[in-house]
């Protein structure tokens, strides 16, 4: 009998993931096979291993046992991160958004004209996020095309699944040297997309990236909407992060009914759109999101660090709008998605402090948002997000009992409790291996 596909690896042990039905499904003593294309070929109870080895033609002696307490979980999906802001992560959090952009962010981003500087920072952000378990990242770079292509090249080299955006902005920028015209921005976006697609990186795709409505003329927004539509591309931007920004958009686009309507009018709200923050959306704007299939990236560290607002995740989910989590480095001060999970829980608890009737999010729900929810928000859930057969094997091997690790495990604790401890207390020391599309990308192959 011919095997259906060649099996590259088989693991045996505990697998934890989210499904359509369960925020956390724990599969103990399970075997999972990955084929040579990096896809999950089978996932079954370990009793089935002999039968599976016959069907698929692997040797039982090649099955890798995870060992006590270790488990696999799906890779974390960062739906919003500024690779170009990584250099100043953890600093400059003392101004509100619009001043923060002009004072810290735009001057730093202007440095990415320099390819050596870009290479250094982009290598470090890809390594840092991979070590922290980010298997998929949706990146903002800067306005510079060649530097942004370099980010794509580095993500590909290290094997990270990535959406990479050349930032577009042509108005309202106090930093004179960090500007483009609508014409240049459009042309460079086209050049970026063509060049990135030509390289045929298997896991890296371009994303059309208007910075946000206040930074873009109506002309530029409509050109970008057109480009996304003609090439069926992802779109990312920011929306309703602060109240001041919402008022500014009302002034700048008096003919639009709402902030969301500005993007809608320019063909920028689609089922491949992800908008960061969305703290201050109205019900009718959330309805527009649901109707178009556009998603929200919840960036709680940034929302709190820049005192922007608190997104009510429950309300978004009630509207049936897709939602993932984002670090929003460097408005958010942590590049780790584990931090985004914790800040999501904190924000939900703060809403409960304000209103004791509020139904606080559970850690299980937030685990789902950080994995399957993120892949759905990026419209990549046909490829990644959980351990469904046919999806790519994007996974973290978690060792809760790593020597000198950040927390302790006691004999009576089950996998669910250990998962909760890892989500609340764990860090990159516990993430002993990372796989993306079946390839082991952590530990790194070469000396860094």
Reference 407, options 417, 396, 397, 394; nearest CA is 417
Residues whose CB falls within 8 Å of the CB of residue 115, separated by 6 or more in sequence, listed in order: 146, 147, 150
Q: Which token pair is 204?
A: 């890296």
Q: Which is nearer to Zn ion, 33 or 326 (CB)?
A: 326
CB of 84 to Zn ion, least distance (A): 11
Closest CA to 100 of 292, 286, 257, 331: 331
CA distances from 411 to 12, 16, 68, 415 (A): 21, 19, 11, 11
Please choose which of Zn ion, ligand GUN, none residue 322 contacts, taking the beta carbon within 5 to 8 angstroms, the exact cut-off set by kind. none
**3 state DSSP class of 94:** coil
CB 326 to ligand GUN: min, Å: 10
What is d(CA 305, CA 300) in angstroms, rounded to the nearest whole number?
A: 8
Q: Which is nearer to Zn ion, 160 or 301 (CB)?
A: 301
What whole-number distance in Å separates Cα of residue 305 and Cα of residue 253?
Answer: 28
State the DSSP H helix or E strand holding residue 25, giving kind and residue range, or none if neither.
strand 25-35
Among 76, 151, 276, 366, binds Zn ion (CB under 5 A): 276
Residue indicated by tokens 């994303």: 207
CB of 215 to Zn ion, least distance (A): 12
Report in angstroms how near the CB of residue 98 gets to ligand GUN at its nearest.
9
Per CB under 6 A, contacts with ligand GUN among 310-369 are 328, 331
With both helix axes pointing from N to C terminus, report the angle between 182-198 and 145-158 in degrees, rounded to the nearest 10.
30
Q: Among ligand GUN, Zn ion, none, what binds residue 384 when CB lies within 5 to 8 Å by partner kind?
A: none
Tell which one of 87, 89, 105, 348 touches ligand GUN (CB under 6 A): 105
Q: How many residues touch Zn ion (CB under 5 A)?
A: 2
Which of residues 302, 384, 386, 430 is near ligand GUN by CB under 6 A? 302
Closer Cβ to ligand GUN, 9 or 238, answer by number: 238
| Tokens matching residue 333 | 């001060």
In the complex, the smallest distance separating the C-beta of residue 327 from ligand GUN, rounded to whole angstroms, is 11
Q: Which of 32, 77, 101, 216 binds ligand GUN (CB under 6 A)?
A: 101
- Closer residue to ligand GUN, CB minimum distance, 17 or 211: 211
Taking CB under 6 A as the criterion, the residue among 39, 131, 211, 234 binding ligand GUN is 211
How does DSSP classify residue 137? E
When binding is defined by CB under 6 A, the residue of 9, 234, 238, 368 that contacts ligand GUN is: 238
Does residue 328 bind Zn ion (CB under 5 A)? Answer: yes
Q: Which option in ligand GUN, Zn ion, none does residue 421 bind, with CB closer than 5 to 8 A by kind? A: none
Tokens matching residue 318: 């009630």
The nearer residue to ligand GUN, 214 or 373, going by C-beta atoms, is 214
Which residue's C-beta sits nearest to ligand GUN? 331
> Could you tell me the smallest distance in angstroms from the CB atom of residue 346 to Zn ion?
19
259 interacts with, out of Zn ion, ligand GUN, none, CB within 5 to 8 A per kind:
none
Whole-number Å distance between alpha carbons of 305 and 317: 24
H/E run at residue 434 = strand 431-436
**Exposed/middle/buried for residue 65 (C-beta within 10 Å: 0-12, 13-18, 19+):** exposed
CB of 240 to ligand GUN, least distance (A): 10
Buried b (16+ CB within 10 A) or exposed e, 181-208: ebeebbebbeebbebbeeeebebbbbbb
Question: 241 is in the binding site of which of ligand GUN, Zn ion, none (Cβ under 5 to 8 A by kind)?
Answer: ligand GUN
Judged by CB under 6 A, the stretch of 97-105, 390-398, 403-411, 424-432 that binds ligand GUN is 97-105
In degrees and rounded to multiples of 5, residue 48 shows phi and psi of: -80, 0
**List of residues contacting ligand GUN (CB under 6 A):** 82, 97, 101, 105, 211-212, 238, 241, 302, 328, 331
Which residues of the shown chain bind Zn ion in the complex (CB under 5 A)? 276, 328
């Amino acid at each position: 009998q011919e095997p259906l596909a060649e099996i590259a690896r088989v693991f045996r042990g505990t697998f934890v993931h989210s499904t359509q039905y369960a925020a956390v499904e724990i599969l103990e003593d399970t075997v999972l096979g990955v084929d040579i294309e990096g896809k999950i070929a089978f996932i079954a109870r370990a009793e089935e291993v002999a039968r599976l080895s016959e069907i698929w033609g692997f040797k039982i002696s090649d099955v890798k046992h995870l060992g006590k307490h270790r488990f696999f979980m799906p890779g974390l999906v960062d739906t919003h991160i500024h690779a170009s802001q990584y250099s100043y992560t953890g600093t400059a959090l003392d101004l509100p958004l619009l001043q923060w952009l002009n004072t810290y962010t735009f001057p730093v981003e202007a440095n990415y004209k320099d390819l050596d500087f870009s290479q250094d920072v982009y290598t470090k952000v890809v390594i840092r996020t991979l070590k922290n378990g980010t298997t998929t990242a949706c990146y903002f770079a800067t306005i510079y095309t060649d530097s942004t292509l370099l980010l794509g090249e580095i993500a590909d080299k290290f094997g990270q699944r990535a959406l990479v955006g050349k930032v577009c902005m042509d108005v309202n920028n106090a930093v004179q040297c960090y500007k483009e015209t609508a014409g240049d921005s459009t042309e460079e976006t086209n050049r970026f997309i063509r060049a990135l697609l030509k390289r045929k990186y298997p896991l890296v795709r371009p994303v059309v990236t208007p910075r946000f409505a206040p930074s873009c003329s109506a002309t530029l927004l409509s050109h970008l909407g057109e480009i996304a539509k003609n090439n069926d591309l992802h779109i990312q931007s920011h929306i309703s992060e602060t109240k001041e920004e919402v008022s500014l958009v009302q002034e700048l686009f008096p003919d639009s009914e709402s902030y969301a309507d500005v993007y809608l009018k320019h063909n920028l709200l689609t089922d491949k759109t992800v908008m960061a923050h969305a703290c201050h959306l109205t019900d009718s704007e959330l309805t527009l999101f649901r109707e178009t299939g556009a998603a929200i990236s919840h960036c709680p560290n940034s929302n709190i660090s820049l005192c922007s607002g608190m997104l009510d995740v429950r309300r978004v989910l009630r509207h049936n709008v897709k939602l993932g989590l984002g670090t929003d480095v460097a408005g958010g001060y942590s590049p780790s998605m584990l931090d985004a999970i914790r800040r999501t829980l904190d924000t939900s608890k703060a809403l409960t402090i304000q209103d004791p009737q509020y139904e606080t999010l559970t850690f299980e729900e937030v685990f789902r948002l950080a994995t399957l929810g993120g892949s759905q928000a990026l419209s990549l859930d046909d490829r990644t997000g959980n351990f469904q057969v046919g999806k790519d094997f994007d996974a973290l091997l978690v060792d809760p009992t790593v020597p000198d690790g950040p927390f302790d495990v006691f004999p009576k604790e089950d996998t669910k409790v250990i998962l909760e401890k890892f989500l609340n207390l764990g860090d990159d020391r516990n993430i002993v291996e990372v796989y993306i599309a079946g390839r082991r990308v952590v530990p790194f192959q070469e000396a860094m």
